[in-house]
């Protein structure tokens, strides 16, 4: 059985990968990809908070009534919201990337700055 520590560690590693990418990459598409990695890391982190080993859905039935086995549904609701927001943000970023490419014919920030100075 996988421990939740594993998920926490994965989430933190993914987050740091994303942060590294955002800070170092100079390409619009690569920035978008790394931001998506960061979002995934945060979502994984949130789900793990509600994770219960061998847990069940938090619904009382005739066979299941052990409250301690219930998975916390609230982080899952948060993650659903944040996934939807993340999708919207990614779509917006991609559409901006298209516009940027049309204007500058490049996806590199440094080349764009050079273009502006001309």
Partner 1 sequence: MKSNYAVLLIAIPLLVAFLQPLFSLINKRLTKWVTFLTIGFNFIYSLKLLNYVMANGAQIAIIGNWKPPFGINLYLSPFSMLFATIIYFVALIVLLVYLIDKPTEVDDRMSIATLLMVMASGAITLTGDIFNMFVFVEILSISTVILISFNNKGISFKGAFRYIVLASLGSSMLLLAIGFIYGSLGTLNLASIAYRFNLLNPVYASVIVFLFMAGIMVEAELFPFNAWVPEAYKGSKSYLNALLSGVVGTTGIYVLFRMFITIFGSGQNHIQVIGSVNFNAVIIVIGVLTTLIGEFSALSQKDIKKILAFSSMAQMGIIAVTIGVANMNSINAGIFHLINHAFSKSLLFIVAFPIINIVGSANIDKWEGLGRKNIFLAIAFAIGSFGLIGIPFFNGFWSKMMIVESVVSAGGWMYLVIGTILLSALVETFYFFRIIFKLFVDKKIESTYSVHIFIYLAILILSIIVIYIGIKPSFLATYIHKAAIDLVDKSHYISTVLGVIK
Which positions lie near partner 1, rule CB under 8 A?
15, 18-19, 22, 28, 31, 35, 38-39, 41-42, 45-46, 49, 74-75, 78, 81-82, 85, 88-89, 92-93, 96-97, 99-100, 103-104, 112, 115-116
Question: Which alpha helices (DSSP H) does the chain contain, by range?
Answer: 4-24, 28-49, 73-104, 109-117
48 versus 69: smaller Cβ distance to partner 1: 48
- Which residue, 71, 58, 1, 12, is CA-closest to 38? 12
Instruction: State the nearest-atom distance from the C-beta of 104 to partner 1, in Å.
Output: 6
Instruction: State the nearest-atom distance from the C-beta of 117 to partner 1, in Å.
Output: 12
The answer to whether residues 25 and 49 touch, using CB atoms and an 8 Å cutoff, is: no
Q: What is d(CA 15, CA 82) in angstroms, rounded to the nearest whole number?
A: 15
64 versus 92: smaller Cβ distance to partner 1: 92
13 versus 96: smaller Cβ distance to partner 1: 96
Which SS3 state, helix, strand or coil, does residue 28 take?
helix
Q: Which residue has the tokens 């994303």?
A: 18
62 versus 118: smaller Cβ distance to partner 1: 118
């Amino acid at each position: 059985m996988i421990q939740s520590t594993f998920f926490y560690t994965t989430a933190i590693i993914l987050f740091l990968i994303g942060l590294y990418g955002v800070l170092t990459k100079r390409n619009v598409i690569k920035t978008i990809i790394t931001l998506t990695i960061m979002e995934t890391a945060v979502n994984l982190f949130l789900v793990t908070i509600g994770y219960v080993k061998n847990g069940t859905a938090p619904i009382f039935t005739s066979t299941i009534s052990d409250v301690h086995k219930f998975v916390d549904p609230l982080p899952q609701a948060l993650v659903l919201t944040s996934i939807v927001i993340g999708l919207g943000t990614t779509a917006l970023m991609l559409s901006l990337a298209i516009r940027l490419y049309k204007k500058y014919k490049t996806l590199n920030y440094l080349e764009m700055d050079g273009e502006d100075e001309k």
